[in-house]
Amino acid sequence: MPRTTTGINAENLRETWRQPENVGLPELTREAVVKWYSETGMPRARGVAQAAELQKKLNGIMPQPSSGVVKWRHTFGNDWAGDPAIFFWVTLTDEASKKDNLSKATEDFRKVLCERIDFQNDWDLIPYFNFRSESEQAILKDEVYA
């Protein structure tokens, strides 16, 4: 059975802070999330703690894991719920970004990475994918895609 990342929700916080159900819970601010993780002793994600090892696996897939990909990179962070995540920033050719090709190009990229690396079960990271066309990047010049 695959492991899942524990999400933060009102019930987890209520149990951790031992508040009765009729008492209002604090707003889920960044401070509340950090406090919850620190009080529950949540370990750092393996992918963050052993980033060099994960980078070696990713380097084995470089430079272009699938057709239509011009450039890709990744960053580590937390997702909206505070769970450890890996964010992929992918620049596609303009041809791959066309309506008829976009679904296949993005799915092929995700499939190659997720078949070779089990981010959630082996690295405790939730993968997120962001795609942009070459022409879009040329206009926006976003550093994260560079």
Task: Note the pLDDT of residue 44.
Answer: 66
Task: Note the pLDDT of residue 39.
Answer: 60
Structure tokens at 21: 């159900």
Task: Note the pLDDT of residue 95.
Answer: 96
pTM reported for the whole predicted model:
0.67
Structure tokens at 17: 């802070």
CATH number for the segment(s) 46-145: 3.30.300
Domain boundaries, the chain: 10-40, 46-145
Task: Note the pLDDT of residue 142.
Answer: 83
Local mean pLDDT, 10-residue blocks, the chain (146 residues): 47 49 51 56 70 88 83 91 92 95 95 93 94 93 80
Is 63 in a helix, a strand, or coil? coil
- DSSP-assigned beta bridge partners for residue 69: 92
* DSSP conformation letters of 79-146: -TTS-EEEEEEEEE-TTTTSHHHHHHHHHHHHHHHHHH--HHHHH--EEEEEEEEHHHHHHH--GGG-
Task: Note the pLDDT of residue 51.
Answer: 85
> Would strands 69-78 and 84-92 be described as parallel, antiparallel, or unpaired?
antiparallel
Q: Residues near 134 by Cβ (< 8 Å), separated by ≥ 6?
A: 70, 91, 92, 93, 94, 97
Task: Note the pLDDT of residue 3.
Answer: 43
Residue 66 in contact with residue 101, Cβ under 8 Å? no
Task: Note the pLDDT of residue 17.
Answer: 46
Residue found by looking up tokens 């011009």 in the block: 70
